[in-house]
Homo-oligomer: A and B are copies of this chain.
Amino acid sequence: MSDLFPKKGHDHDRCVHSAIAQAEKVCDDASARFTDMRRKVFTLIWQSHKAVTAYELLDALTSEGQRVQPPTVYRALEFLTDLGLVHRIESLNAYFGCDRPDCDHLGQYFICTECGRVAEEVNEDMSNAVRKAAGNVGFAIQATTVEIKGLCHDCATH
């Protein structure tokens, strides 16, 4: 059984650094600016493998000493989601760092209701099932939201 969720005690700094490196590349390729604020928000989102709300980000930025208003955070989030660096989890009103922003994908999200962690998977069976179901009824897909709540393997077995 592959483990979608990161192991406890994994080297999280590596996740963060890798994510930032990828984000820099994506921004560069898009001629978009990875500004200080955007970098801060992105880094905060990557502090954990959980989804983070806009106001949690706001609070975190504020306690870092900045006085930041909601539009600032929402603008950064919009920028990051538009580039695919961050995904919005609709069922949580929260935001989650994508670890494969370079590939164009219809992602699926597993959300553990016990530990709060989120994991993204790009699963061809699911994407194909969605595309096929849409095709059958003449529906032209623009965007998909697939969010699955439950217990991750760690929480289910401990």
Interface residues of A (CB under 8 A from B): 1-5, 90-91, 108, 110, 112-113, 119, 121, 123, 125-126, 128-130, 132-134, 136-153, 156-157
Are A149 and B138 within 8 A (Cβ)? no
Are B152 and A148 within 8 A (Cβ)? no
Q: How far is the CA of A23 from the CA of B78 in the complex (A)?
A: 40
- 20 further A-B pairs in the complex, CB-CB below 8 A; given A112-B139, A129-B129, A133-B148: A2-B136, A2-B137, A3-B138, A90-B145, A90-B147, A110-B139, A113-B142, A125-B132, A134-B148, A138-B153, A138-B156, A138-B157, A139-B148, A139-B156, A140-B150, A141-B148, A144-B147, A144-B148, A144-B149, A145-B145
- A142's contact among B125, B130, B132, B150, by CB below 8 Å, is which? B150
Interface centre among A110, A113, A145 (most CB of B within 10 A): A145
Are B143 and A149 within 8 A (Cβ)? yes
Q: How far is the CA of A157 from the CA of B5 in the complex (A)?
A: 42
